Structure formats: C-alpha cells, structure tokens
Structure 1
C-alpha cells in the first residue's frame, strides 16, 4: 500500500465515523473537498 492510499483510508474512515456517509459517497469527493470535511469534523470535535 502506498502512502497516498494510507491517507485515503484514514480520511474515509474519519469521515465515515463522524458523518456516517457511505463509502461510495466519500470516494466520490475530490481530495480537496474531502480534506475540507476532515477539517470541519475535527473542528466540530474541538481538535
């Protein structure tokens, strides 16, 4: 597995946990958009 794939799994798992979106919905997001949602989930959690 490559570094990029590891990060993708991490982003998808984080978003699925916080927003309960499906894998297909998460993978349909462009990377910058997915990162924005990761940042927003972290902000909501006070991280």
Structure 2
C-alpha cells in the first residue's frame, strides 16, 4: 500500500507552515511521527481558536 501523494503534500505543507521546518527534515520523519506532529498542531490550533 502506498501513501496518497496529495495527502503527503498536505501533511508536509501543514507542518512546514506551522513549524517552519525544511522539506528534507519533514520528509525524514517516519510516517507515524509526522502524523503525530500534524495532530499536535491541530490541537494547538484548536486551543488557540477557543476550541473551534
């Protein structure tokens, strides 16, 4: 099974936008680790936006 390219690009853009990490650094992450960062960023955004 392969990971959808559009989903990978969305995750990369999301982490890069919020953490300002380089593409190579994000691509070096294991899939599970990258998803954890995506989830953590989403949680931070939810808290900042008052739970919305």
TM-score (norm 1): 0.90
Cα root mean square deviation, aligned: 1.3
The 5 A counterparts of 1:1-47 are 4-46=4-46
The answer for unaligned runs of 5 or more in structure 1 is none
TM-superposition CA deviations, 1:1-47 (whole Å, max 9, x none): xx711110000000000000000000000110000000000000006
Q: Which has the higher helix share?
A: 1
The count of corresponding residues between Structure 1 and Structure 2 is 45
Structure 1: 4+ residue segments shifted above 3 A: none
